[in-house]
Amino acid sequence: MTQAPSDATTIRLEIARYRPEQDERPVLERYDVPYRHEWVVLDALNYLKDHIDGTLSYRWSCRMGICGSCGMMVNGVPKLTCSAFLRDYLPGPIRVEPMANFPVERDLVTVLDDFMEKFQAVKPWIIRDGEQPLEEGEYRQTPAQLADFKQFSMCINCMLCYAACPVYQHEDEFLGPAVLALAQRYNHDSRDQGKGERQELIWSDEGIWDCTFVGECSAVCPKHVDPAGAIQQAKVESTVGWYRSFLAPFGRG
């Protein structure tokens, strides 16, 4: 923000193109687009699609870091392209590739099926044994109870953390950072009673225990959710549960 406007007039983009009908593998193609001080990488991509090559495919929607659609690798780092300013990459070139660790469908578009499946597997909704009658009013929460999970509820499912995670890169089964943070978000909600239902999956080898606390997920998270912190928190809870199951095998886990 404090940088003086640059006198650059164009900036070079190196875009990973993959057109399954003609490319055997993704290839980098170079495009020169106008440079503007206030433009983000997504603006440059939109210019490219509107004026240079209309066949470029990529996902985007809100342009303001809310929808989580426009995640890509910018110079090798997972970024929301709507929040990555061209001026931070001067003099260029800027390499834009699809999010790492996901299969590529076309150009900058990745296949999200694996994430969607894991997302549902942790039951990311409030589970209750039974609803309290309407006349008892709403479920009330103290500020402290809200603070316990609020940070983990800020996730926008942009999947940058999956693109950054070296464990997910190798372990297809690993539930991954965002999903585990989301599980923690519901487990720590005072209105939720579904911890037991989520536990088996979360506390398994494919859940939190594949994580080796590299921390890249939290480093790239545009919403400061801190998935690595969520997983560490869950590891402590899982460990307490593990020891308790030996000390009181017939008690509550």
Partner 1 sequence: MRRSNEPLFWSLFSAGGVVTALLVPALILVTGFLVPAERVEFGRLEAILSHPVGRLALFGVASLTFIHAAHRLRHVLVDMGLRRFRGPIAVAAYLAAIGGAAWAATVAFA
Region from 7-15, 51-59, 185-193, 196-204 binding partner 1, contact rule CB under 8 A = 196-204
Residue type, position 95, single letter: R
Asked whether position 120 contacts partner 1 by CB under 8 A, the answer is no
> Which residue has tokens 């061209």?
86
Cα–Cα dist 232/252, whole Å: 22
Asked whether position 186 contacts partner 1 by CB under 8 A, the answer is no
Report how far Cα 208 is from the mean position of its chain's Cα atoms.
16
Candidates 104, 167, 190, 219; binder of partner 1 (CB under 8 A) is 167
Candidates 206, 219, 223, 229; binder of partner 1 (CB under 8 A) is 206
Asked whether position 75 contacts partner 1 by CB under 8 A, the answer is no
Token duo for residue 13: 């983009």
Asked whether position 238 contacts partner 1 by CB under 8 A, the answer is yes
Minimal distance in Å, beta carbon 123 to partner 1? 14
Inter-residue long-range contacts of 2-11, CB under 8 Å, 24+ positions, other chains counted: 3/87, 5/37, 6/35, 6/37, 6/87, 6/90, 8/35, 8/90, 8/91, 9/34, 9/35, 10/34, 10/35, 11/35, 11/44, 11/86, 11/89, 11/90, 11/91, 11/92, 11/93, 11/94
Cβ atoms of 212 and 168 closer than 8 Å: no
Comparison of 153 and 204: residue with beta carbon closer to partner 1? 204
Asked whether position 219 contacts partner 1 by CB under 8 A, the answer is no
Region from 5-13, 26-34, 146-154, 233-241 binding partner 1, contact rule CB under 8 A = 233-241
Asked whether position 209 contacts partner 1 by CB under 8 A, the answer is yes
Cα–Cα dist 165/218, whole Å: 10
Asked whether position 117 contacts partner 1 by CB under 8 A, the answer is no
Asked whether position 197 contacts partner 1 by CB under 8 A, the answer is no
Region from 14-22, 65-73, 75-83, 163-171 binding partner 1, contact rule CB under 8 A = 163-171
Minimal distance in Å, beta carbon 203 to partner 1? 6
Alpha-carbon distances of 157 from 61, 185, 221, 227, 243, rounded to whole Å: 14, 13, 10, 12, 33
Residues engaged in binding partner 1 (CB under 8 A): 166-167, 170, 200-201, 203-207, 209, 212, 214, 235, 238-239, 241-243
